[in-house]
Structure 1
Amino acid sequence: MKIKDWDPNLKVRLFSEAMMNITFWMFFPFLTIYFADEFGKNKAGLLLVFSQIFSVIANLMGGYCADRFGRKRMMVLSAIGQGLSFLAFAFASSPWFHSPWVGFLSFAVAGVFGSFYWPASQAMIADVVGEKDRSSVFAIFYTSINIAVVIGPILGSIFYVHYRFQLLLVAGIVCILLGLILFKWTRETAPLQRMADASIDGKWYYFLINQLRDYSLIVKDKTFLLFILAGVLAGQTFMQLDLLIPVYIKDVVKTQNLFTFGDWSFSVRAEQAFGIVLAENGFLVALLTVIVTKWMSKYYERNVFVLSSIVYAGSMVIFSQTHLIWGLILAMAVFTLAELMGAGLQQSFVSKLAPEHMRGQYFAAASLRFTISRTIAPLSIPLTVWIGYGWTFLVLVILALLSSFLYWLMFYTFEKQSIKAGA
């Protein structure tokens, strides 16, 4: 399905969200460094855990709100709310007023609005795109995000240190403009009957209780429970991309030459080094996702899952042993390979586990491995204060290796259940 054949809603969103994502990634990866500098690593890690709890609750409620109030309304309100939060953050980092606490609260509120935006945006795509074309449309939106992950950190590494206030101000304005564009040039796509049904289902917390009850039934599936546990442990590694890794690079990387040609050289500071390796991750994901997924599909799923966690562990070992920019680039290449190895197979494995009548619930429950990982992962930052970087990276290596064992055990359980079902 070509972009020119898309629903007008999606065309408007693709280009306006691309601008928002580029602006967002110009400063977001560096915020962990900012909070660690302002609050200290101990307090910053605990505060980030606290902020994620609200985002997790908002994520659970996002689908309900999109059904009850409509996709367009939730996206408009979320975009404007996120924009106002960034403006408040900019004010807290301005030449006239400096308050890390106001900045953190603004960041936490922006995260909540972002968690409400995402389910509505995904539901809108499903509303207007036929089933056979959905994967290609989702892939294009995913690619646009990764292009933003390439461009944003590179620009951020140049401007963030001296122009944080201006970047946050621009981000706030862009988000508000996105909300106004969505209000003006998109239409509501949620089925009216679904909105009516959602409005009479009861109070919002009934939905939350019912969803948690559904999750409790699903995790009684031993194979699926192992899948979630292994994913949470592996997630402690890949969630460090914008948590431990930027703080580590800032602390250990000194200004050094990236390229040297004769008398000319290009040197990078710590923040620029992090921008480069983060952009590398986005570039490799955008370039190689399809290639690596096809490559991995030739191998037995168990081996791919297990090896992916082992490669994650290897990337943590390389990160912990280098402070040179080219060593960090190598570590990020290994890290990205691990990310891509399991990217395509995770969803297909969930579809194998899920009974047809519970497929939606299984996919929703599978996202728990990300929400739980995102909540726990910031603890790595205070951990560096308590035990140092070397031991913290060792903990991550052990967790990644433990996840590889759980993946092996998951397939063993799955095959055992399949044999019993066949008998």
Structure 2
Amino acid sequence: MRIKDWDRNLKIRLLGEGMMNILFWMFFPFMAIYFSESFGKGMAGLLLVLSQVVAVVANLVGGYCADQYGRKKMMFISAVGQGLTFVVFAFANSPWLVSPMLTFISFSILGVFGSLYWPASHAMVADVVAEKDRNTVFAVFYTALNISVVVGPILGGLFFFQHRFPLLLIASIVSFAVAALIAIYVRETAPEKRENSLVSDSYVKWTRFIWNQLQDYRIIVKDKVFLLFILAGILVAQTFMQMDLLIAVYLSEKVPDQPVLTIFNTVITADGNRIFSWLISENGLLVALLTVFMTTKMSKFKERNVFIFSCMIYAVSMILFGHVTSVWLLAIAMLVFTMGELMVVGIQEGFVSRLAPENMRGQYFAAASLRFTIGRTLAPAAIPLTALLGFQWTFYLISFLAIIAGVIYYVMFDMRSKQRVFGQS
């Protein structure tokens, strides 16, 4: 399915979210440094974990609202909210005020609005794209995201520390522009119109309102196949997140300075930190170039085999990282790691869309994203483990978790096939 044949909603999403993602990655990678310098590493880590916990709840509520009130409404509200929050974010880093705490509050609120936006956005894809084309469409969006991951940090290194105030103001303007595009050009795609409105529920105490919404997820908890998918996904995410955690620390502490190339009798050397930046660029470039290709190829195989084999590849890459220090062998390890990522990035969203009942797609996509949110929250535990186990055994442990994820996927698909045989939903 070519982009020119896409529904207009998807084209607007691709354009607007592409701009937002680039701006997001211009400041996001540097926030941990900013908070560590402002609050100290211990407090910064605690605050960031807290923001993730808040994002988990917001994500679930966002999925409910996407199904209850419509995709367009939630996307519009989220975009406007992000624009207003960026204004406060910019003011907290302006010539008139420098407030790390207000910056943290703004950063956390941005995460909340993002968690309200993405379930509706993903559900909209499932609403307007035929099942046979969904994997390809999701792959294109993932490719666009990874282009932002490559471009954003490069630009952010130039602007974030010296020109933070104008950068955040531009982000605010772009957010309002995206909200305008949604309001004018995007049509509602939710399969069922609701008579409820956000205003009509305003009399309900907000804590009760959120609790009532979270209770609706009980039906998802009863979906055993979906629960296994989330559990396996958390273990895979635990592995994937080590790219910015365990692997980064390992390269910084254990990889020595070494010659990389000799050009015109000039030897180019690199230490672990520089090699890490190269490996991140390698990952981003490979994902940007190969996501659509790999998704097309993987769609020809049984999903069960793709999910399980991806876990095995992740496991192998973790073992490789723990045993090599040469820049070229590390590049090979990153190639293997990226292949594990590329095998499933397109098909996993399509898998969720097929599991979800039509009227609960937003909630299913929201719950599915818990794989990454919980994985991101738990993954940093690998760093203190290195003090107890050493790097190699910690890599072995992460590899083992990836293998366990593969076993869970096997059980999940076996259970799903039995449900089909007996005519269960």
User: What range is the shorter-chain TM-score in?
Assistant: 0.7 to 0.9
1:175: which partner in 2?
171
2:143: which partner in 1?
143
Q: Report SS of the residue matched to 1:197.
A: coil
CA contact (8 A) 2:119 2:366 kept: no
Whole-angstrom distance in 1 between the partners of 2:43 and 2:391: 17
Q: Report SS of the residue matched to 2:197.
A: helix
Question: Amino acid of the residue matched to residue 169 of structure 2?
Answer: I
2:281: which partner in 1?
279
Whole-angstrom distance in 2 between the partners of 1:46 and 1:3: 42
**Deviating more after overlay: 199-208 vs 2-11:** 2-11
2:404: which partner in 1?
402
1:198: which partner in 2?
197
Whole-angstrom distance in 2 between the partners of 1:364 and 1:17: 18
CA contact (8 A) 1:79 1:117 kept: no
Whole-angstrom distance in 2 between the partners of 1:6 and 1:301: 25
CA contact (8 A) 2:63 2:366 kept: no
Whole-angstrom distance in 2 between the partners of 1:17 and 1:366: 20
Aligned residue among 67, 75, 93 for 1:71 = 75
The structure that is helix-richer by fraction is 1
Structure-1-length-normalised TM-score: 0.78
CA contact (8 A) 2:62 2:115 kept: yes
Name the CA shift for 1:387/1:41 in 2 (closer, same or farther; >3 Å). Answer: farther
Whole-angstrom distance in 2 between the partners of 1:267 and 1:22: 30
Percentage of pairs with the same residue? 49
Whole-angstrom distance in 1 between the partners of 2:20 and 2:357: 38
Gaps of 5+ in 1: none
CA displacement at 1:252 relative to structure 2: 3.7
Correspondence 1:214 to 2:216: yes
Name the CA shift for 1:180/1:30 in 2 (closer, same or farther; >3 Å). Answer: closer
Structure-2-length-normalised TM-score: 0.78
Q: How does 1:107-186 map to 2 (within 5 A)?
A: 107-119=107-119, 121-122=121-122, 139-155=139-155, 159=157, 164-166=160-162, 168-182=164-178
CA contact (8 A) 1:32 1:243 kept: no
Q: CA RMSD in A?
A: 4.0
CA contact (8 A) 2:119 2:362 kept: no
Gaps of 5+ in 2: none
Name the CA shift for 1:169/1:9 in 2 (closer, same or farther; >3 Å). Answer: farther
Correspondence 1:365 to 2:361: no
Name the CA shift for 1:320/1:169 in 2 (closer, same or farther; >3 Å). Answer: farther
**How many corresponding residue pairs?**
412
Q: How does 1:370-409 map to 2 (within 5 A)?
A: 370-385=372-387, 387-409=389-411
Question: Amino acid of the residue matched to residue 79 of structure 2?
Answer: M
CA displacement at 1:244 relative to structure 2: 3.5
Q: Report SS of the residue matched to 2:219.
A: helix
2:417: which partner in 1?
415
Correspondence 1:21 to 2:45: no
Question: Amino acid of the residue matched to residue 144 of structure 1?
Answer: A
Name the CA shift for 1:82/1:311 in 2 (closer, same or farther; >3 Å). Answer: farther
CA contact (8 A) 1:124 1:190 kept: no
Aligned residue among 80, 85, 89 for 1:85 = 89
Whole-angstrom distance in 2 between the partners of 1:268 and 1:179: 39
Q: Report SS of the residue matched to 2:56.
A: helix
2:56: which partner in 1?
56
CA displacement at 1:400 relative to structure 2: 1.0
Deviation per CA, 1:378-421, whole angstroms, max 9, x where unpaired?
33344345544334323211211111121122233333444444
CA displacement at 1:269 relative to structure 2: 5.2
Question: Amino acid of the residue matched to residue 286 of structure 1?
Answer: A
Correspondence 1:298 to 2:300: yes
1:241: which partner in 2?
243
